[in-house]
Structure 1
Amino acid sequence: MLRLNDTSVPLPNSLWQDLGLASTATLSTVLIRRGLQRTHLRGVFPLRPGSRLMGEAVTLRLVPAREDQGEPAMLANPEYPQRKVVERIGPGQVLVVDAHGNTAAGVLGAILALRMARRGAAGIVTDGAVRDAAELRALELPVFAAGAHPAQHTVAHIAAELDVPIGCGGVLVLPGDVLVGDDDGVLVLPRAVAAEVAREAREQEELERYVQRRIAAGAAIIGVYPPNAETRAAFERERTGR
């Protein structure tokens, strides 16, 4: 049985501060060290290179469209899940759309994304396609997807459920999990360990910056990367000023 997240307790501000200093590469190292290997969404990358994303997951599950299901009028229904989530998403939240890897239509386009941006959303992530790619790239809202397609979502999908466990890019995403994205893709941080992972990643980044300075100054790799006890001790002396 899945253990769902308790989202009634807000995540600490320190989490976001630490995440702002950590790359997905470093976060991945920390997650793998903790035994969490299935956290990288396969085939999902920023629509605008250089984009950075972090926030809490709000999930939307799509199912394949079928000719006897769905109708054009559903797009005007405020209870239709794809429309409903646009008016429910809030500051710091990331919409994660489970499209089952189907890129035969865009899961949403520029108008819905603009509305979510105005509501303070932190980003959009999908293992499907998006439409209006040029307009989406012009928005400040980070968008991570598996591709672009001009057709609206009803050509290939019907929105089925909100705020349920989903799969995206081959990874389990629970409502309230923490999403982080950059040019290397998107990671899912389980909510229960997100703050600890972020702190460890920030500390790892500090160590790696020290290592980079050593390498740039001419040091050889062995003993410096990965850092041995002597290198770590030298880093601690520099960090603490001792």
Structure 2
Amino acid sequence: MTNIAPIPNVQTSLTRPDIVLPQKGSEYQRPDPILIQQLQGVSSATASAMLHKMGIRQTFIEGPKSAFPGAKIVGSAVTLQFMPQREDVASGIAQEYSEKYSALWAVLETIQPNDVLTIQAFGDPYTGCLGEMLITYFKSRGGVGIVADGFIRDWPHVRDIQLPLWVRGFTPNYASQSTLFPWAYNVPIACSRVLVLPGDIIIADDDGAVLIPRQIAPEIVRQTLEHEDWEAFSRKRMQEGGALLKYYPLNDEGRQEYEAWRLQQSQ
């Protein structure tokens, strides 16, 4: 009679002991809180336009929509990476409570004020990236919002928490119930095909979520403040009956008028 090797207990443990989970990225630098404050008045649309002008075009995290219309956040990206399940590595069967040893629990212990949890989840409707309890904990640590190219669960209760969320929708499933597993945190992720690095800046509002690379954020602040300043001038002039071709965008004549107006405003 042929001996049959015992089937490993894939319900509760890894069957590949050479793989250490959760995977954790290296330490990273968060943006200066003053920079976060300076960006509070910048819309995602303006940030996207300025980044495009600077030659950085893959920044719009397409897909996730605001669960709370009117919400606006600016913060430092903390990344969470879901990966497809594979039974010889980690199974999702009966794992809801063993998830506490995964990247999903680990990343929440790193959250600081002004953080935005940014999640790679492949738009999978069968994976509830987080639910009521974890979102409650995230908010208690000072997190300002969540951007996920995936789904969350417990929506009737999560709605009462009033944490700004940009997600693809809602699901009854928990995080590792079906097709994905919380694999790594503080690592580069692809959120809706946009590369997000830990410490990048996320701006999200009703137009969607946009990434600003941390190292160029000061220049974005400078350019967006100037952009919004001349837009305010142009808006006022067009409300008074001014010509569109002159004031949006400013032509040479309009810019001369704007510079004179700005000088007058500073006096």
Q: Which residue of 2 aligns with 1:57?
A: 77
Shift in alpha-carbon separation, 1:214–1:138, aligned structure 2, 3 A: farther
Alignment of 1:194-205 (within 5 A): 194-205=217-228
Select between 100-109 and 20-29 the one with higher mean Cα deviation: 100-109
Q: Which residue of 2 aligns with 1:207?
A: 230
Deviations 1:25-81 (A, max 9, x none): 111110000001100011111111111111111111101234553353573464311
1:234 is displaced (CA, Å) by 1.9
* 2:109 is the alignment partner of 1:87: yes
The higher radius of gyration belongs to 2
What count of residue pairs does the alignment treat as equivalent?
A: 238
In structure 1, distance between residues paired with 2:197 and 2:165: 19
1:101 is displaced (CA, Å) by 2.1
User: Which structure 1 residue ranges, 5 or more long, are not aligned?
Assistant: none
Deviations 1:185-220 (A, max 9, x none): 101111110121122112211111111111111112
In structure 2, distance between residues paired with 1:180 and 1:135: 25
Select between 33-42 and 128-137 the one with higher mean Cα deviation: 128-137
Structure 1 segments of 4 or more deviating over 6 A? Answer: none
Aligned CA RMSD, in angstroms, stands at 2.1
User: Which structure 2 residue ranges, 5 or more long, are not aligned?
Assistant: 1-24
Given that 1:95 and 1:123 are in contact with CA atoms closer than 8 Å, whether structure 2 keeps it comes out as yes
In structure 1, distance between residues paired with 2:230 and 2:26: 32
In structure 1, distance between residues paired with 2:27 and 2:129: 28
- TM-score, normalising length from structure 1? 0.90
In structure 1, distance between residues paired with 2:60 and 2:245: 29
In structure 1, distance between residues paired with 2:26 and 2:235: 38
Shift in alpha-carbon separation, 1:5–1:55, aligned structure 2, 3 A: farther
SS in 2 for 1:233: helix
In structure 1, distance between residues paired with 2:105 and 2:96: 9
Match of 2:206 among 175, 180, 183: 183
Select between 139-148 and 187-196 the one with higher mean Cα deviation: 139-148
1:122 is displaced (CA, Å) by 1.7
Given that 1:92 and 1:121 are in contact with CA atoms closer than 8 Å, whether structure 2 keeps it comes out as yes
- TM-score, normalising length from structure 2? 0.82
Between the aligned residues of both structures, percent identity stands at: 34
In structure 2, distance between residues paired with 1:59 and 1:179: 11
Given that 1:5 and 1:177 are in contact with CA atoms closer than 8 Å, whether structure 2 keeps it comes out as no
